[in-house]
Amino acid sequence: MPDCGRIAVQQTSASLAHVRVGVRRETVGPALHHRGMTQGSSAISSGSPSSGSQSSSLLSSGQPAVDPPPSDESAAGVATEQLSRAELEERLAGYRGELTGYCYRMLGSPFEAEDAVQDTMVRAWRALDRFEGRSSLRTWLYRIATNVCTDALAGRTRRARPVDLTGPSAPTDAVPAPLPEATWVLPAPDAAVLSGGAAGGPIDPADQAVARESVRLALVVALQRLAPRQRAVLILREVLGWPAAETAQLLDTTVASVNSALQRARATLAASDVTASDPLRPADDQQRDLLARYVTAFESYDMTALTALLRDDATLTMPPLEMWMRGPQDIVGFMLGHGAVCRDSRLVPSLANGSPAFGQYHRAAPGEAELRAAVTGSEVRPLPAEALDGGYVPWSLIVIDVTDGKIAGLHHFLDTDRLFPLFGLPPYLPA
């Protein structure tokens, strides 16, 4: 099984200089099966090709609608001509998880990543009759996925965070109209974009920790600042561990061009404001205590207790709203004003982007459906009768950044209609 690799992050006080990842390059067997995009599933995000694999052209002019399979020899190539079409389909599905992790880093949206992987599988399925088994199936699939992601990125505005679009708001500022979903980098369940062990089995805790770093929201945002080719090069080379020569063959370019693109990508990341955060350590008593105190403070709406948990430069964001707050005073001021809708909430733990996360439910009130539609820009949808009978309804998915033992970021994603099913969170909580 491929591991996630070792990440060494070199930082200045306010920037991520670069990420280096080394990946042990082994093959993935056919025992892997289709993983869905839910929190209860398992997925693989490392995708280094086997030694000696090559790939035919990427991004060349006159690219066919269905990418032709490569004709190279590969140590990881399987004798696919000896497999039935059903067995080949199962083998294709086995790569769905790791491709999802790759496409998510490229696109910044779990929903777009899921669509891109589906498109990749459709293209591959249509071309299977021409796949002669002399090459790595993984290499071929990554080539198709790279083309799909590059097509999706063409001519569009990059996804971002509220802090990238405007300065901090005052707690009393009017709540703005929501911006379209395509504006934002969206969270993804850990199980959809992080690596598992063999056939979804256990993985070394150290490898799991560095894997979480590679999908942190701030790093995924930083990746969106790169041109598509630089983005692909950085992910393939330094997240997934592909050698420069194989990356160059995949992208139909030279090793020198790959190295140049990698240097430019590193420089862009170094100039960005990606700051370090503490890795998620489920067995760490201090981190568990911090999160338990946060849950208690939030559910009891004890703003004094919450303030004690926040860093002086902590931020509160609320996509799809553009407004955001900086500092405990303004965060608390907002939560006691416009944000008072969060009173009487219940939190359900989850994991997102290698970070602690919570599904936030608040007690349903008259006009709840209309309020939810107003802040998310969605249609008014009736709520379950059980939820209206004193129950709790979804309000946000909260992703938490922890730095130096305190909370550095509270990211409330309000599109619960799409995110809660993705994370396997219940549609409501009973009274």
Whether residue 410 contacts residue 398, with contact meaning beta carbons closer than 8 Å, is answered with yes
What integer pLDDT is reported at residue 372 of this predicted model? 86
Across 100-114, 203-217, 236-250, the highest mean pLDDT is recorded for: 100-114
Whether residue 357 contacts residue 351, with contact meaning beta carbons closer than 8 Å, is answered with yes
| Burial class of residue 14, CB neighbours in 10 A (0-12, 13-18, 19+) | exposed
What integer pLDDT is reported at residue 117 of this predicted model? 97
Whether residue 138 contacts residue 28, with contact meaning beta carbons closer than 8 Å, is answered with yes
What integer pLDDT is reported at residue 166 of this predicted model? 96
| Burial class of residue 100, CB neighbours in 10 A (0-12, 13-18, 19+) | buried
Among 126-130, 302-306, 348-352, which stretch is predicted with the lowest mean pLDDT? 126-130
Supply the DSSP symbol for 124: H
Rounded to whole angstroms, how far apart are CA atoms 399 and 340? 19
Determine the average pLDDT of the residues in 174-180: 96
- Reply yes or no on whether the pLDDT at 130 is more than 50: yes
Shortest CA distance to 117 belongs to which of 102, 130, 105?
Answer: 102
Backbone angles phi, psi at 360, to 5 degrees: -100, 125
The CATH architecture annotation of domain 6-169+183-271 reads Up-down Bundle (1.20)
Angle at 426 between CA 179 and CA 211, to 5 degrees: 70
User: What number does CATH give the domain 285-422?
Assistant: 3.10.450.50
- Reply yes or no on whether the pLDDT at 197 is more than 70: no
- Reply yes or no on whether the pLDDT at 1 is more than 70: no
- In the chain, what are the domain boundaries? 6-169+183-271, 285-422
The single residue listed with the structure tokens 């416009």 is 338
Query: pLDDT tens-digit profile of 220-253?
Result: 999 999 999 999 999 999 888 899 998 998 888 9
What residues contact residue 255 under an 8 Å CB cut-off, 6+ apart?
244, 245, 248
Determine the average pLDDT of the residues in 129-158: 85
What integer pLDDT is reported at residue 177 of this predicted model? 95
CB atoms within 10 A of CB 387: 20
Whether residue 125 contacts residue 168, with contact meaning beta carbons closer than 8 Å, is answered with no
What integer pLDDT is reported at residue 348 of this predicted model? 98
